[in-house]
Every structure is written in structure tokens, then in C-alpha cells.
Structure 1
Amino acid sequence: MSVEELSKQRVIYGIEDKPPMGEAILLGVQHYLTMFGATFIIPVLTASAVGFDGVDTARLISLMFFVSGITTILQTTWGNKLPIVQGGTFSFLPPMFVITGAVLARPDATSDLAMQELTGAIIAASFFEIVIGFSGLIGEMRRILGPITIAPTIAMIGLALYNTGFSWLMEDWRVGMVTLIAMIVYSQFLRSKNRAFLLFPVLLAILTGYAFAWIITLAGVVSQGDAGYVSTQVLENSPWIAVPKPFMWGMPKFTLSFILGMVAGYVASMIESVGDYMAAARMSGAPIPSKSRISRGIGMEGVGCLIAGIFGTGNGTTSYSENIGAIGLTKVGSRYVIQMAAIVMLLLGIFGKFGGFFGGMPNPVVGAMYCALFGMIAAVGISNLQFVDLNSSRNLFIVGFAFFMGLSVPYWANTVTIAEGLPLWQETLEDIVLTIAKTGMAVAAICAGVLDNTVPGTKEERGLLAWEDVASDT
């Protein structure tokens, strides 16, 4: 078949098709590269939050890719069986920052202790997703959580770091601005010029900023201790082979308030994943996923989050929409190819020098990524409002109220301390309320969800009919 004839096909390889081994490996590597930027930035953000040094940051990066490989194989083999890559989720970052911030404020705080509390919250809350998925309750949740609830919830993920991004960038404005400008140019101005800029703008921008930092380090413009200085110690101290082990940071600790705060991240992740399943099925030429297939997928994502917690990634696992876009571009919807990508992730997760290379990344590069990526996440959340009637005063009030409270309540909650000498039950209750109040995503979800389901409004006005049409079309 000619290239022209192939280009006219809806898909070249369907879900159950197996391309030749060499071709499958190359296509798998491409999927790995597509998800690389989003996946590796999550452990970098987590490591920064808990105060890890470069060596531990490198270990966390390797852990994330190793677990992503495991969960992708589980999902494509026994879960929804769709060609979807599994990886870390930005939905877990807001509660992660709240948990680590609370732990590190203690007198006996250490980075390992912060990871133990974070790990415990992820493991315990994973059973919420497992139950919601395998029981089939995810369908009921979709009827309750419409676009008016989802829009501010997702947007608050992006706004969680508004007070950190630019300040980190300005620790060395030269490195930070080079990275940020590269990100803008690659993703917005050059995306139509070359496919590499369309698929890998984050990775290329990071490499550009990293390379610039290397240049000014070698030229002696910055010295050791400066924010823009690149040290080779992390790479040198990282082992060639490092097989991940469970509970690398110590045994998990379970605090009820942290667990409940983490549930908000799971809810946002689940709703997003259902949309990804629909899109992946359409892109790969498969039938619309059945309720049982969606339920299996969500349940398996819960299992993946449990595994991520056991290995101590500091994050969970979710479906990656970036790779669904790659299916549309390549017209290759084979889950066999995705399994090849999973094997690549597993191997790189064991290769210690891989994490070591990125573990020494300067803060200004990370800060630039904050500015670009989290702004985009906020905009994606807001885009869900396209389905609702924005001329409705009901909708405008609910959305505006949820946004304002999602920003204002955490600002207040961070100034509150729990009084000493309270009864245990009261101290625990106040701790739970404060943890949730400090998580803007949870506050926005509660405000929007309660009002959208209680204030009178038609399905059309609320955007539920338009959302159902999109789901049925995909």
C-alpha cells in the first residue's frame, strides 16, 4: 500500500494489530518521547517541594518512569485495554504542596518524613479510586460533576503555584528567561514549522535552558552556589543501574486530614481520564468504550496509584492526553505499541544515570516551566465553560464564587494554627478542615459542585447536554 493510501486510512494499525517488532519499538519510543516532558517535570516539582537534593531528585525521576511503565502495561493488558500511556498527574500537585508544606513546618521535619506522609495519603486514597472504578460508581459521578464543577477544579490546579513560578525563575533571570522564551517560541511560533516543536516543546525548552545554564557555568559567569550553576556531582553520584525498591523513603504514615485532601486530586484525575478514554477510542478507530470498560480503566488507575504509592513516587498515575494526540498524528492505535513504550520507560527507570542527568536541573528552569505549564492547565480548565450558558447569571455566580473561594480560603487557612491542648477529636477535625481549606482545588470543587447541583437550572443551561453530545460523538 502506498504512503498516499495509508494517509487516507483512519488508522494504519488498530488496537489489536501488531506492527513488525522494529517498527513497534520505534513507534513506542516516539510515544515515550511525547509523554517525557510532562512526566519528568512532576517528580522535579515534588522533589523541590520536599527539599530533596540532586541525588534524591534523580532517584525520584527514575521511580516515576519505572512505575509509569508498570501501570501502562497493567492498563493496556487488563484495564481498559486502550492505547493509553499512564503517567504522573498534575491533579495531585495541589494536595501534595499542602501536605508537604504542613509536614515541613513541624520542628522534627525532614524530607523523608514529608515523603512518608505523602506516600500514606496516596496509598490510602487510592482505594477510593479503586472502589469507584471497579464498582461502576464512576458513571454516577459523571452525572453529578458537570463542566461548571470541573472548570474551576482543573483551573485551580494551574493556579496552585502562582506565587512560586516567577520567583523561582528570577533566582537567575538569564537562565529562567531563556527557558521561558524558548517555551513560548517553540510551542506557539514554531509548532507549525516542524513536527518536533509540535510534539516536544516542553522537552526542547528544558534542554535549551539547561544547555544555556551549562554554557554560563563553563564560562565562569556563575559560580557554585548560584541558582544558575550546573553541577555534575548529581550525574557522577548516580549509579548506572538502580532497581527501584518499595518504600524507599521509609514506611508510609497515614494522617486522616492528608488522606481526605488527596481525594480531591483523585476526583479531578478520574473525570479527566474518562474523557481521555473516549478520545483514545475515537482516535484508534475503536467503538465507544462501554461502562464496564471505563470502570475497569478507572479501577486499574487506582491500582496504579497504589503501586505508585508503594514505590514512593510522591504522585499517582493517570491517562496521558498527549499520547492520544500522537495516535491522531501517526494513525497508529495499537496497544502493542504502547506496551513497547512501557518497556522503554521500565528500562530507563532502572538506568540511574538517566535520572541523574535531569536531577541537577537549576531552579530557574523549573520556575520557567511553572509559568508556562501551569498557566496552560488553568486555561484548559476554563475551556470546559464552552459547554455552559455563559449568559446565565446562575452559572456566572457559581463559577465566579468557586474561583474566588478557591483562592481566598487557602490564603486564610494558611494563616490559621490549631490551638494546643484541644481534645483529640476536635484537634483531628480541625486538622481535616484546615487541610481541605488549604487545597484550592478542593475548595473550588466543593463550592461549585454543591451549588451546581442545588441551585435550580436546566441541563442545557448547565452544559450537561452539550457534554453528553461530545461524549457520544467520541
Structure 2
Amino acid sequence: MSPVKAEDLVPHPCREQFAELDYCITSPPPWITTVVVAFQHYLVMLGTTVIIATILVPIMGGGHEEKAIVIQTILFLAGINTLLQVHFGTRLPAVMGGSFTYIYAAVAIIISPRYILFIGAPFERFVYTMRSLQGALIIAGVFQAVIGFFGIWRVFIRFLSPLAAVPFVTLSALGLFYFAFPGVAKCIEIGLPTLVLLLIFSEYASHYFAKGSFVFGRCAVLVTVIIVWIFAEILTAAGAYDERNPVTQFSCRTDRSGLIHAAPWSGSLTRSSGDTPSSARRTASP
């Protein structure tokens, strides 16, 4: 038997195995590409995180400060879960982020009649509701961990196929249009160009006009965000929203989101010494 050569043990390049695959585990992309694509993935994840907080926090009675705290908490825990997953879990290069799966259950808890006593105290209602949500999520997480650890999920996964999973995921995502698209309609001159540019860059430019382009092939979201943000900044600086209603200014202006100034790590730097946080004003007694 002839000895096995070293070059025979090296796997074939990805392009020889799959025509549309450029990188795999044994052939990672250059570090510059990795950094750019990772930042784009962070922007996508940040968008989903903001949507989750935007949906839940106002219903719970929270304001900008509470929304900033929820976003910071989700990002912090997502980082911890990602590090645990890539070192001790499946070790796949995937980012663990906020899930839309629990939104409907969370909304059902928030609108429960048990919180009707906090109608006149929105901040107290936010705190009490958040504690209830945290407890429910902890129990759900422990249940999932037990199911996976004992291998019970393997019994059920044999009866589920992609044909059964796709309709469930699709219907769950379509239900979120009720929350997401009204937000786009609040600033149609920013939201509509974003959708159109993202569709053109990701589905047409990367396949027809600039086939194989790194900018449109892998960075369509990043390019769209940069272009639309510059466009929104020009409209804001030109005074296009100075005389508009507060809802439009909050949705369209680049300096009215309220999240940066409401964040605890930056609020202490930007808030004057005579100002009082909104949460403190809500809880202070006369």
C-alpha cells in the first residue's frame, strides 16, 4: 500500500467544491474583510435589538432611558452568549442576539391585568413588568437547556422537516410587520429609500450590474446605511424637519432619537448639573 501524501490530506478549496462559496472554516477571509463584515453584522443585530426594545418598552411604561438600558442589556448578554457559544457550545461563527420568538409571549405578559394597578406610575410598572419578563425568560431558558442536554429535542426533530419549519418562521416574521412597517411609514422619505437601495444593492447590483463586487456582494447593508444616514443628516442640517410635528422629527432627524443622551454611560457626560433624570423625577416624592 502506497503511503498517503501530505497534499492528499488537505481539503480541496471551497471554489472547487461549491461554486458560490468563497470561504469555509479551513479558509477564512482576510482580516480586513472579517472586520468589515463583522461590523455589518453588528449593525443588523443592532437593528433587531432596537426593534425589540422599541416594541416592548413603551408598552411597559418606559421612556428613552429605559429603552437605552434594555438595548445595552441585550447587547451585553448577546456578547457573553456569543463568547460561550464559540468556545464551549457548537463553536460555529454565529452571533447570539435577541430573538423575536418571545415577543408575542412578552406582550401577553405586559398587557396582563395584574399590572393595571400601575397605570398612574409608569416607571414602577416598567420595573415590575421587567422583573416578571426576566423571570419568565430564565425559566424558558432553563427549560430549553434541559431539553437539549438530555437529548429530548432529537426525538421531536425527526418529525420536523424544513417544509414544516419554513411556514412557522415565515408566519412569525410576517406578524412583526404590524410593528415594524408603521415605524417606516413615520418617516417615509428615509424608510422607503432604505428599502429600495437595500433591494437594489443586495439582489440586483451584486448579481447583474457589479457581479462579484465586494461592496455590493457582502456589504450591501453597510453601504445602504451609510448612504441613507448621510441623506438623513443633510435633510436635518438643511432644516427640512424644523417645522414638522414631533413624531416626524423623532423618526426622521438624526439628532432626536434620544437613546444616546438617555444612556447612563453618556447621560452623565451630556446632562447639565441642574437636570434630573426622568426616572428620578418619576420616582421622587413631593
Aligned equivalent of 1:119, options 134, 149, 172: 134
Q: Compared with structure 1, are the counterparts of its residues 26 and 207 closer, same or farther at alpha carbon in structure 2 (3 Å cutoff)?
A: closer
What residue is the counterpart of 2:3 in the other structure? none
Q: What is the deviation of 1:222?
A: 0.7
Change in Cα spacing, 1:80 to 1:162, as seen in structure 2 (3 Å) is closer
* Structure whose CA Rg is larger: 2
Cα displacement string for residues 263-310 of structure 1 (whole angstroms, at most 9, x for unaligned residues):
xxxxxxxxxxxxxxxxxxxxxxxxxxxxxxxxxxxxxxxxxxxxxxxx
User: Which structure 1 residue ranges, 5 or more long, are not aligned?
Assistant: 243-351, 354-474
What is the root-mean-square deviation of aligned Cα atoms in Å? 3.7
- Alpha carbons of structure 1 residues 197 and 93: separation in structure 2 relative to 1, 3 Å: farther
Of 221, 244, 249, the match for 1:202: 221
Q: How many residues were matched structurally?
A: 235
Specify the alignment match of 1:173 in structure 2. 188
Which residue number corresponds to residue 64 of structure 1? Answer: 74
C-alpha change, 1:29 and 1:146, in structure 2 (3 Å) is: same
Preserved contact between residue 179 and residue 205 of structure 1 (Cα < 8 Å)? yes
Shift of 1:100: 3.7
- The aligned counterpart of 2:260 is 235
- What is the CA deviation profile of residues 207-254 of structure 1, one whole-angstrom value per residue up to 9, with x for unaligned ones? 444333322222111137233233265435546689xxxxxxxxxxxx
Pick closer, same or farther for the CA change 1:102–1:159 going to 2, 3 Å.
farther
CA distance in 2, matches of 1:140, 1:196: 43
Per the TM alignment, residue 13 of structure 1 is displaced from its structure 2 partner at its CA by 7.5
CA contact (8 A) 1:216 1:222 kept: yes
Find the partner of 1:89 among 69, 94, 99.
99
Per-residue CA deviation, residues 310-360 of structure 1 (Å, 9 max, x unaligned), is xxxxxxxxxxxxxxxxxxxxxxxxxxxxxxxxxxxxxxxxxx99xxxxxxx
How far residue 81 of structure 1 moved from its aligned partner, in angstroms, is: 2.9
Structure 1 pair 85/236, CA: closer, same or farther in 2 (3 Å)?
Answer: closer
Q: Which of the numbers 198, 216, 219 marks the counterpart of 1:183?
A: 198
Query: Do residues 45 (structure 1) and 45 (structure 2) align?
Result: no
- Runs of 4+ that moved beyond 6 A: 9-13
Q: Tell me the SS of whatever aligns to 2:81.
A: helix
Structure 2: which amino acid aligns with 1:91? T
Matched with 2:89 is 79
Q: Which amino acid aligns with 1:178?
A: P
Contact 1:39–1:64 at 8 Å: present in 2 too?
Answer: no
- 1:23-422 to structure 2, matched below 5 A, reads 26=32, 28-30=34-36, 32-49=38-55, 50-51=57-58, 52-102=62-112, 106-108=116-118, 110-192=125-207, 193=210, 194-223=213-242, 225=246, 226=249, 227-231=251-255, 234-236=259-261, 238=263
Q: Which residue of the partner structure matches residue 358 of structure 1?
A: none
SS of residue in 2 equivalent to 1:145 = coil
C-alpha distance in 1 between matches for 2:179 and 2:15: 47
Distance 1:102 1:235, change over 3 A: same
Scaled by the length of structure 1, what TM-score is found? 0.42
| Partner of residue 423, structure 1 | none
Find the aligned partners of 1:13 and 1:201 in 2 and give their Cα distance. Answer: 21
Q: Which has the higher contact order (CA 8 A, sep 6+)?
A: 1
Check conservation: 2:37, 2:218, Cα contact below 8 A.
no
Q: TM-score, normalised by structure 2?
A: 0.66
For residues 53 and 203 of structure 1, what CA distance do their matches in structure 2 show?
A: 29
Q: Distance in 2 between matches of 1:139 and 1:6?
A: 33
